[in-house]
Every structure is written in C-alpha cells, then in structure tokens.
Amino acid sequence: MTLFGIAIALGVDAFAVALASGAMLDPLLERRWFRLSFHFGLFQGLMSILGWLAGLSLYQWIDAYNHWIAFGLLFFVGGRMVLEALRGDEEKESIRDVTRGGTMVMLSIATSIDALAVGFSLALLGISIWIPALVIGVIAAVMTAAGMLLGRKIGALWGPRVEIAGGLVLCAIGIKILVDNLL
C-alpha cells in the first residue's frame, strides 16, 4: 500500500502537466495521448532506477539542484506556450504539440525528477527497485492518460484560451516546486 501511495504522489506532477497538455492539444489524437502517457511513465520508472543506482554522492549533488532543474524546464516550456499563444498562428503547430521532440523530453524529465530521490531512498532501505519502478511507471502513465482526457474536456469548454492557461499552469507547477524546496 505504501508503494502505491508513493507512486500516486510521484504521479501528481505528471497528472497536472497532462491536464494542461490535454486541454491545449487540438485534436487530442490517440497517438499523442499514448506518447505522453508512455513517456511520462517510462521516465518515472527509469528515474527511480537511476536514483537507485546513483549512490549517495550523485544524490547529494542532484538533491541541491533538482528543484531548480524542474522549475527551469517547466517554466521554459510553459513560457513558450504562453508566448506562442499570444503571438498568434505563426509557428503555432511546432509549439502546440507537447507530445513530440524536445518539449516532451523536457516535460518527462521535469515531472520525474522526484522519482530519482525516491529511487535513492529505496536503495538506502535495501529495497530492490524493480517492482517499485514498474509500479511507479505504470501509475504515472495511467495518471497522465487520465489527466490528458480530463484536460481535453476542459479544453473543449475554454476554447482558444486553453494554450495560455496550460502554459501558466506549467509555470505555476515549476514555481510551486521551487518554492516548496526553498522554504
């Protein structure tokens, strides 16, 4: 039961980002839905494995900066979304699809940095990482899929303001992560 609680806690950021992404993707194609869900789940699982393998020295180095990394990635992607929405239609399609390329990788990393610390903690407790990594990854993928579907419904109601709202949500998540770790 504790493992599921940890996995759900780790999946909350992925859910929030997926909610914003699903709201702004028009249309929300099955391949986009699958791509983001798969990658968020994959990165959550892999980051927990990396944390488990990393050892104390890497953890201490990353722990001091992980909130800055997550903040920077989320703020960068969210800021680009807001700026693109305010600019209009030029180059809009390249920014709009957050389920492709570098944007998807940045979001995947930003939403899974906490899994690195969890993986490291499990190593300190002498717990094998393989089952927890699988559970963490699957739950993150499911939460991402649900967030995107719910976001799509919200997007249908909000119309063109969704891209600005989605970008602001990503920026807000980045700021929350930064503030939570600095205070």
pLDDT tens column, 58-106: 666 766 777 787 787 778 777 877 787 777 655 444 446 777 788 888 8
Please count the residues of the chain.
Answer: 183
pLDDT at 88: 63
Residue pair 111/43 in contact (Cβ under 8 Å)? The answer is yes
Alpha helices by DSSP H, listed for the chain, are 2-24, 30-54, 56-63, 66-87, 92-96, 101-124, 130-158, 162-182
Residues 6+ apart with CB under 8 A from 58: none
Query: Total domain count for the chain?
Result: 1
Tell me the whole-structure pTM to 2 decimals: 0.73
Residue 166 is part of which domain span?
2-21+30-182
Burial 41-62 (b: 16+ CB within 10 A, else e): bebbbbbbbbbbebeeeebeeb
Greatest mean pLDDT among 14-28, 58-72, 137-151: 137-151
Q: Which residue has the higher pLDDT, 159 or 133?
A: 133
- Say how far apart CA 178 and CA 82 lie, in whole Å: 20
